[in-house]
Amino acid sequence: MPTIRSLEGQFHAQISVLWQPLNDEPAVAYHADRPVKTASIIKLPILIHTALLVESGQLNWDQRLPLTGSRSPGMGILKVMDDGLHPTLRDVAVLMTIISDNTATNMLIDLLGINQINQRIQELGMPNTRLNRKVFAPNTPECLPWGLGVTTARDVVHVLTRIATGQIGNTETSRFLQETLAKQQDRVGFPRGLPGGWVYAGKTGSDDDLRNDCAIVTSPAGQQYICACFVQEMAEHSSTVDHPGLQALGQVIRIMIS
């Protein structure tokens, strides 16, 4: 069985991981407090912030957001839709999460505000996490070297644990967060390493030189585990299902469940 350290050598990558069982089993950590590039993992706290604003009555899932102006490249379907489309807030939040729609993400950032999102991130108990800018916006000196956002594996596992154990919002909010993560369409990271019968609910993040995954995974016996893994500092590779970072994620999760 390989080790995380050996995987770093095999894939010429820097790997940060935290595996947290939701029982008395010990956690497994490898550079879990090392700052890492979030890529689209930062969309997880944006989703939470949106849901909590709906719960407090400041927003409504049924309100509609007009699709106008510039579109963000990369992942998503809204970038190819015509002006005049008015998806609901729920639609936009779900698209941001389950297919990592970048235009949907920027619509929410415009609505919510970067400073307000970052304030919520701190309130969620993620002291090392920050949203730096909109998706594909130019980097400023303050954004470097992280780009879109910065976090740690420990911060991400903390907030996913709160979701899994119903500690964020009321029952309806908790159910929405868990169900949305369970609808994730990008299943070529952790899921490639999970045996049959295991259930995955998570959020991914990617760039040419990195692949990230974080999830609530459930064994066939119903035992839940929280895992966040960041495979970074790689040479740039084409974006395919055989990206070395994705292969590394699959091997990491196999090590964790063994």
134-183 pLDDT per residue, tens: 999 999 998 999 999 999 999 999 999 999 999 999 999 999 999 999 99
Q: What is the pLDDT of residue 240?
A: 87
The answer to whether the peptide bond before residue 145 is cis (omega within 30 degrees of 0) is yes
26-77 pLDDT per residue, tens: 999 999 999 999 999 999 999 999 999 999 999 999 999 999 887 888 899 9
Q: What is the mean pLDDT of the chain?
A: 96
Rounded distance between C-alpha atoms, residue 221 and residue 198, angstroms: 9
How many C-beta neighbours within 10 Å does residue 178 have? 15
Is residue 221 packed enough to be buried (19+ CB in 10 Å), middle (13-18) or exposed (0-12)?
A: exposed
Q: Are 132 and 143 in contact (CB under 8 A)?
A: yes
Q: How far is CA 125 from CA 50, 159, 161, 225, in A?
A: 17, 7, 11, 19
Q: What is the pLDDT of residue 63?
A: 98
Rounded distance between C-alpha atoms, residue 149 and residue 162, angstroms: 21
Q: What is the pLDDT of residue 188?
A: 97
Q: Is residue 74 left, alpha or beta, with left meaning phi > 0 and alpha meaning psi from -120 to 50?
A: left
For residues 93-119, give the mean pLDDT: 98
Q: Tell me phi and psi for residue 216, to 5 degrees.
A: -95, 120
Question: Domain count of the chain?
Answer: 1
Residue 246's identity, in one-letter code, is: L
Q: What is the pLDDT of residue 192?
A: 97
Q: How far is CA 213 from CA 19, 61, 157, 206, 230, in A?
A: 12, 27, 11, 9, 7
Rounded distance between C-alpha atoms, residue 116 and residue 65, angstroms: 19
Rounded percentage of the chain residues whose pLDDT exceeds 70: 100
For residues 225-235, give the mean pLDDT: 97
Question: Is 90 exceeded by the pLDDT of residue 96?
Answer: yes
Token code pair at residue 134 = 């909109």
Rounded distance between C-alpha atoms, residue 83 and residue 52, angstroms: 28
Rounded distance between C-alpha atoms, residue 46 and residue 83, angstroms: 24
Angle value at C-alpha 46, between 41 and 49, nearest 5 degrees: 140
Q: What is the pLDDT of residue 98?
A: 98
14-21 and 28-30 strand pairing: antiparallel
Q: What is the pLDDT of residue 70?
A: 78
Question: Is 80 exceeded by the pLDDT of residue 1?
Answer: no
Token code pair at residue 206 = 């990617």
Question: Is 90 exceeded by the pLDDT of residue 239?
Answer: no
CATH number of the domain bearing residue 188: 3.40.710.10
pTM value? 0.97
By residue range, what is the domain housing residue 138?
4-257
